[in-house]
Chains A and B, each alone.
Chain A
Amino acid sequence: MSSEMEPLLLAWSYFRRRKFQLCADLCTQMLEKSPYDQEPDPELPVHQAAWILKARALTEMVYIDEIDVDQEGIAEMMLDENAIAQVPRPGTSLKLPGTNQTGGPSQAVRPITQAGRPITGFLRPSTQSGRPGTMEQAIRTPRTAYTARPITSSSGRFVRLGTASMLTSPDGPFINLSRLNLTKYSQKPKLAKALFEYIFHHENDVKTIHLEDVVLHLGIYPFLLRNKNHIEKNALDLAALSTEHSQYKDWWWKVQIGKCYYRLGMYREAEKQFKSALKQQEMVDTFLYLAKVYVSLDQPVTALNLFKQGLDKFPGEVTLLCGIARIYEEMNNMSSAAEYYKEVLKQDNTHVEAIACIGSNHFYSDQPEIALRFYRRLLQMGIYNGQLFNNLGLCCFYAQQYDMTLTSFERALSLAENEEEAADVWYNLGHVAVGIGDTNLAHQCFRLALVNNNNHAEAYNNLAVLEMRKGHVEQARALLQTASSLAPHMYEPHFNFATISDKIGDLQRSYVAAQKSEAAFPDHVDTQHLIKQLRQHFAML
């Protein structure tokens, strides 16, 4: 049957059923009959259609929502000069999260990430694990909330996505960009749009891959920032020409130019384009892109105002509400964040991010049974992964529903996708074991966490506490030292080290560790106590 079908129709059907590889293959066959593979023949509309379709299929294969993608590589983080104020006032910056903690539980209850933010309930590509202070810290990926941060600049990620598809096609890339006459394409608005998306999403950065790897080995980070721009310039050129062709009246092209500028790191130019696009046509997307620019410029308050402006035009728009909640969360304003997440749930009661964030908030504000309801809701919605079962297990345990606890953890372990995840599950199981007083089991659990992930600082710390209970001081000290070097942002290892040293009479080390602990968590009463005690000791000497 299908062999008799008109190939273009079949290709369309594949495209609509999201079988992009089949669609692209079929289009390739159709295009092979035409002598000019590179450019669609204007005389043959069928070829033109196949060409567009192939471009779109290839784009869709690697398409990711540009709004969501905001992953900063280390190079961008370390060499960022876009923030306007170097010493911003409290409450106006995303970089000083500790200064305005309102409504959230303290660090003694809710673990924090390397940047000093409470761990979040939901991980997005742009979930900032914060800007590390030093290069050393930057390279050591933050294990407290495991994120897949690329070591290289953000273009490093884009490279690998485009390359794979190129490798699979033996005749080289579908469109040879360097041979493209962009001016000609910009005259044909329909072709140009498909071509732009193809260049922007699919081609990305294929050219620079080898260069980039070489640079990585040499360790020249600043150079990375510059070399990602070849292809995006192509996209930008095309967009610029097209917008000229439409006499600057097409908001879509303006948004695309803005996107290109954003990727190139030219935030002010991007802002201009987005603003101009908004003047012509108010779209939710444009608001989101513009807000992204402001977040990159470290102006959360402006972004918040923009979102609220957007909400006037589009009342109850979920993405805008969610954007506000995210910014509040990043500014450590947990109560406002929860408020907006609830607002999101009023509009869309299956919003995973909102449910997860509210759930984790409840868990860490001592209401595990309510958190359990939220996570159960997620399970009912069909989410089935290791993280969810781990959270369910923890909630069950702390809400005293012991029958479900171990089965949840078992399932979490069987669903864990990588060793880091399994390590986290074993770590939490260790807590359950501590809770029921089975120190042997706890010991084994923490050991297993370390087997799975040798950099699990929390497990080192807890293991040290258990060793100390057995009276193994030296082992405990060694474990604590490992923990504190792995995660200097956590106060627990420092404090425990200070306590042990104090006990065995090593007051100098105890004092040093206590001060580190105080730096990590200034409000910790026991640390303050210890420091006071030590000062008295030293004064007596």
Chain B
Amino acid sequence: MLKAAAKRPELSGKNTISNNSDMAEVKSMFREVLPKQGPLFVEDIMTMVLCKPKLLPLKSLTLEKLEKMHQAAQNTIRQQEMAEKDQRQITH
């Protein structure tokens, strides 16, 4: 890293971005630093994976209507059953 900086004196702080107006010049002055010498270390650490965030699917109108009807139907049936149970208890 140090070597690369030394090779390119323009990066060692000689030219600061004082002239912001001249973008083209600034662009040409800054170049990426790609060290071509020296060993390269890549340490591959096995990390654990999180499950991904989950967008929830929207429901179609038909599905919503179906679910609503289900709910209503089940409620009616439950009420009916409760009423029957109550009656049975009264008669006993």
Q: Which A residues fall within an 8 A CB radius of B? A: 62, 64-65, 68-69, 108-111, 119-125, 127, 144-145, 148, 157, 160-161, 163-164, 167-168, 352-353, 356, 359-360, 363-364, 378, 383, 385-388, 390-391, 394, 398, 421, 424-425, 427-428, 431, 434, 457-459, 461-462, 464-465, 468, 490-492, 495-496, 499-500, 502, 526, 529-530
The docked-state distance in angstroms from the alpha carbon of A459 to that of B72 is 32
Q: Which residues from chain A contact B59 at a C-beta distance below 8 Å?
A: 122-123, 385, 387
Contact in complex: B54, A62 (CB < 8 Å): no
B66 CB within 8 Å of chain A: yes
Minimum distance in angstroms from B92 CB to a CB of chain A: 23
CB within 8 A of B58: which of A62, A160, A356, A465? A356
Given contacts A109-B52, A465-B48, A492-B51, contact A123 B70 (CB under 8 A): no
Task: Answer yes or no: B80 CB below 8 A from chain A CBs.
Answer: yes
Cβ B63 vs Cβ A123 within 8 A:
yes
**Can you list 19 A-B pairs with a CB-CB distance of less than 8 A?**
A64-B66, A110-B52, A119-B57, A123-B57, A123-B63, A148-B66, A157-B70, A160-B77, A352-B58, A352-B60, A356-B58, A387-B59, A388-B58, A425-B56, A434-B50, A458-B51, A464-B48, A499-B46, A499-B48
Q: Does B69 contact A (CB under 8 A)?
A: yes
Query: What are the residues of chain B within 8 A of A464 when measuring CB–CB?
Result: 48
Contact with A along B29-71 (1 / 0, CB 8 A): 0000000000000001010111111111111101101110110
Chain A nearest CB from B54 CB (Å) reads 6
Instruction: Give the CA-CA distance A149 to B76 in the complex, in Å.
Output: 21
- Interchain Cβ contacts within 8 Å, total number: 138
List residues of chain B with CB within 8 A of the CB of A421. Answer: 56
CB atoms of A124 and B52 under 8 A apart = no
**Cβ-neighbour of B56 out of A64, A157, A390, A490 (below 8 A):** A390
Which residues of chain B come closer than 8 Å to A167, judged between CB atoms?
76-77, 80
Docked-complex contact B65 and A363, CB < 8 angstroms:
no
Contact with A along B2-28 (1 / 0, CB 8 A): 000000000000000000000000000
* Shortest Cβ distance from A425 into B: residue: B56
The chain A residue with its CB closest to the CB of B63 is A125
B62, A462: Cβ atoms closer than 8 Å = no
What's the tally of chain B residues with a CB closer than 8 Å to chain A?
28
B62 touches A68 (CB 8 A): yes
B73 close to chain A: CB less than 8 A: yes
Report the separation of the CA atoms of residues A421 and B4 in the bound assembly, to the nearest whole angstrom: 55
Chain B residues near A (Cβ < 8 Å): 44, 46, 48-60, 62-63, 65-67, 69-70, 72-74, 76-77, 80
Q: In the complex, A457 Cα to B65 Cα: how many Å? A: 29
Whether the pair B57, A111 counts as a contact (CB closer than 8 A) is no
CA gap between A127 and B58 in the complex, in Å: 12
Given contacts A364-B55, A492-B49, 13 further A-B contacts (CB under 8 A): A68-B60, A120-B57, A122-B57, A123-B57, A123-B63, A124-B62, A148-B70, A164-B72, A356-B58, A363-B55, A387-B57, A398-B53, A465-B48
Ranked nearest first, the 7 interchain pairs of A and B with the lowest CB-CB distance are A164-B73, A458-B51, A387-B56, A68-B62, A164-B76, A123-B57, A431-B53
Alpha-carbon gap, A424 to B65, bound state (A): 22
Q: Which residue of B lies closest to A462 (CB)?
A: B50
Say what secondary structure dominates the interface of chain A.
helix
Q: Are B74 and A160 in contact (CB under 8 A)?
A: yes
B-side contacts of A157, CB under 8 Å: 66, 70
A69, B62: Cβ atoms closer than 8 Å: yes
Q: A123–B44 Cα gap in the complex (Å)?
A: 40
Q: Is the CB of A391 within 8 A of B67?
A: no
Q: Once the chains bind, are B58 and A383 in contact (CB under 8 Å)?
A: yes
Enumerate chain B residues within 8 angstroms of A163, measured Cβ to Cβ: 73, 77
Contact partner of B51 (CB less than 8 A), chosen from A356, A462, A529, is A462
Question: Closest chain A residue to B53 by CB distance?
Answer: A431
Residues on the A chain within 8 Å of B76, using CB: 164, 167-168
Our pick among A144, A461, A491 for the contact of B50 (Cβ within 8 Å) is: A461
Given contacts A431-B53, A434-B50, A496-B48, contact A378 B70 (CB under 8 A): no
Docked-complex contact B50 and A122, CB < 8 angstroms: no
Residues of A within 8 A of B60 (CB): 68, 122-125, 352-353
How far, in Å, is A494 (CB) from chain B's closest CB?
Answer: 10
- C-alpha gap A149/B80 in the complex (Å): 25
Known contacts A125-B63, A499-B48; is-contact A427 B54 (Cβ 8 Å): yes
Question: Which residues does chain A contribute within 8 Å of B58, judged by CB atoms?
Answer: 121-123, 352-353, 356, 378, 383, 385, 387-388
The one of B46, B53, B70, B74 that contacts A526, using a Cβ cutoff of 8 Å: B46
Given A69-B62, A124-B63, decide whether A490 and B77 contact each other with a Cβ distance below 8 A: no
Rounded to whole angstroms, the CA-CA distance of A168 and B79 in the bound complex is 11
Question: Which A residues are CB-close (under 8 A) to B74?
Answer: 160, 164
Q: Which residue of A lies closest to B67 (CB)?
A: A148
Compute how far the CA of A57 lies from the CA of B44 in the bound complex, rounded to whole angstroms. 68
By beta carbon, the residue of chain A nearest B58 is A356
CB atoms of A65 and B77 under 8 A apart = no
Q: How far is the CB of B38 from chain A (nearest CB, A)?
A: 26
Contact B62 A111 (CB under 8 A): no
